[in-house]
Amino acid sequence: MVTRKVTIEAPNGMHARPAGELVKRIREYAPTKITLRSGAKQVNAASILSILSLGLKRGAELEVVADGPREQEAADEVARFIAEIRE
């Protein structure tokens, strides 16, 4: 299991468009399971509705947890993608 911490920098936080793109990228790493943690909430990152349920605003801290084959690569890619969201 690999974890990465990332802060949401996007002015609009995590909304539907970047969440949808994130889910597409995450599915490329199957069967590696990727989870997002924010505060006391933890969700399966392969679900756009689960990601949106976190209500991630600008400045929110998020932990990316990857477990399975290619976990290192998956955690790095997901954290990088989230950090680079600017819309």
CA neighbours closer than 13 Å in the CB half-sphere of residue 29: 24
Which amino acid is present at 49?
L
Catalytic position from the list 15, 25, 33, 70: 15
The answer for 13, left when phi > 0, alpha when psi is -120 to 50, beta otherwise, is: left
Catalytic residue check, 87: no
Residues with a known catalytic role = 15
